[in-house]
Amino acid sequence: MLEVIETRELIELHDVEGIVRGTYHKTHAVTLDSQSNQSKEHRVGILFVNSMSPTRAANGDAAVYLADSFAERGYPSFRIDLPGFGDSDGDPAPDLHSFVNLGGYGAITSAKIGQLVARFNLTGVIIVGQCAGAVSAIHAAAASKECKGLVLMGPYFHLPQGKTPAKPREQVNPWYATGRFGKIWVSASTLHKKIRSFLHKNSPPQNANFALLRLWKQVASKGLPILVLSVPDRKASGVKGKAVEFDYLKYARELAGRKSRVVAKVADGANQSFSNRPGRESVRHHVELWLNACFPVKDQLQQKMSALQVGRSEVEHQRETREDYLYQ
Amino acid sequence: MQTASQGVGELSEKAGYFPVPDAHLYTVLHQVTDPVARVLLVGPFASERHFSYRPWVRWARYLAARRIEVLRFDYRGVGESTGLFEDMSFDHWQEDVQTLTDWILTRSPKVPLMLHGLELGAILAARIFDSGLGDALLLWSAPANANQALRSSLVQWAGLGQLTESPENRRTATQYIGELEGGASIEVQGYQWTSRLWRDSFEVVLPDAVSPTNLSHWASTKRVRSVNLGKDAAPLVKPHLIYDEGKDLSWLYEQNFAWVEGVLTLVSGGNDARSY
């Protein structure tokens, strides 16, 4: 059994809580140089964290594909199983969703970033998280000085809607719906609701994850480069009556302030888990352009030309689109 | 047979890459000191790996804690193993199982080997056992042929698509099957299924000798157990619409371990399994 093959290496990150296991995708430069060791990286690394997905490979092995791609472009990439996931030690928290939403994986991810930076001589780490993984990524970014950027795929900023207690008018009696006074009361109540909704139209709903939004503001407002990827709107063309959802992304961008470096893109063709072929291709495309704009690898152009035999037109195209990924 | 629990500190999980033609298999060896037996865990089809992973790992740890050395792995082109899924065939995956079985048999000390397959893995493990390798065989939710495994994944996938896809992109399982039979490839759970894979799946069958309807030969030796897992065993098996990470399947592990203990005692002639 080998721990290292040409393009990958299996890693273990130890601490008192147990072992976190993962996979390191070596850059082309390291792969080429058989004498090289990890200390030669000296560049920003990319770390994939689990969503609710049980393994570091993610749905349809999408994370494997992306990590391979980014490593080929010169970014050492790491996929780890957080405690309770995949091959790592530990059991998942009993209420995993709540645990993630409250930032349960923030501290451990931050600690693992520290270990990766030290072991592989990285200049920092960009965290990639999808869905629940995006929540963990924001928490980790707030806790880690070594986090240099975020890629958030389908992030959410709300908490699951709990069972709300019955409203007082529903508890009283059905008379309110039919009786004269009841109708007046219902009308007044509806009017009050509409006025309140109008006055607070830019405020997030009650089930917003306010703690997460505060952390988002903290990390985004200081200018951390952040790429937010969303799936195309798949609203069924024939479906009517769907409530208008609060635009969290718009709100989050406003919250981030003018100094922020948040770029939002739609991953064309992606399904909800970004795991289908068009989706992962689109993610790869956007992330690579964003990386090229925000974290250019010193020898990236040469590396692309030689190792990947990418044509000149693509490189020029990347130059043109660079600004699009720096400012929006 | 002595299968006293082993302290967690004595257990080690060694992940590695096992070279096979044109690829590397990702393997995890749950090593134990002084093992009483070994088990090769042969997992389900690619689309199911994702859901069954944690309960599969927990089963491996459960066995290792009871002095049974376990090897689990990803098939070529799946998960942490290298290779392109769409280039792979059932022959490749059967070869993976054969290669790892051969490797385990070289390990010392010599102790009984049990092959344990889940879903598609049950067929592949059974075929190896039927060829004369291994001392016991445990099958969880063994389909009659690989097509049954693919078909049930497809039905679930199509059902999910009815909820998540826009009307113009929705397909029924029948439509997907029509596409496959018409020579096209389709994507299921992020994996590209080729029409070749679909066609071949009809030929990959559970050996007659170990099929649930014909266990007479092996039943007499008590070395084969075939269990159809119900929905209470999800997400190890379908239906598994959510990742139920924390679900307690210790009842399943206990039931099956009782049989494992018994069969290992049997194959070791009632003595300590190490003397087998």
Q: What is the ipTM of this complex?
A: 0.91
pLDDT above 70 (res B5): no
For residue A5, which residues of chain B lie inside 8 Å, CB to CB?
Answer: 17, 24, 82
For A93-134, write each residue's pLDDT tens digit.
888 999 999 999 999 999 999 999 999 999 999 999 999 999
pLDDT given at position A236: 46
CATH code that applies to domain B8-145+206-275: 3.40.50.1820
Q: Residue A285, class by beta-carbon neighbours within 10 Å (0-12 exposed, 13-18 middle, 19+ buried)? A: middle
Q: CA B230, CA A139: separation in Å to the nearest integer?
A: 38
Q: Distance (Å) from the C-alpha of residue B135 to the closest C-alpha of chain A?
A: 24
Q: Are strands B191-193 and B186-188 parallel, antiparallel or unpaired?
A: antiparallel
pLDDT above 80 (res B241): no
Which residues of B have a CB under 8 Å from any CB of A?
Answer: 13-19, 24, 27-29, 49-51, 53-54, 57, 78-80, 82, 85, 164-169, 187, 189-192, 243, 245-246
- Residue B243 has its nearest CB partner, among A10, A53, A237, at A53
Closest residue of chain A to B80, computed from CA coordinates: A57
Closest residue of chain B to A68, computed from CA coordinates: B82
For residue B164, which residues of chain A lie inside 8 Å, CB to CB?
Answer: 234, 271-272
Q: What value does the mean pLDDT take over residues B165-173?
A: 86
Q: CA A254, CA A252: separation in Å to the nearest integer?
A: 5
* Whole-number average pLDDT of chain B: 89
Q: Distance (Å) from the C-alpha of residue B268 to the closest C-alpha of chain A?
A: 29
For residue B85, which residues of chain A lie inside 8 Å, CB to CB?
Answer: 61
- Residue B167 has its nearest CB partner, among A10, A56, A237, at A237
For B20-43, write each residue's pLDDT tens digit.
999 999 999 999 999 999 999 999
pLDDT given at position A202: 75
pLDDT above 90 (res A223): yes
Closest residue of chain B to A19, computed from CA coordinates: B13
pLDDT band at B13 (very low <50, low <70, confident <90, very high): very high
Instruction: Report the Cα–Cα distance between both ends of chain B, in Å, rounded.
Output: 11
Q: CA A1, CA B29: separation in Å to the nearest integer?
A: 9
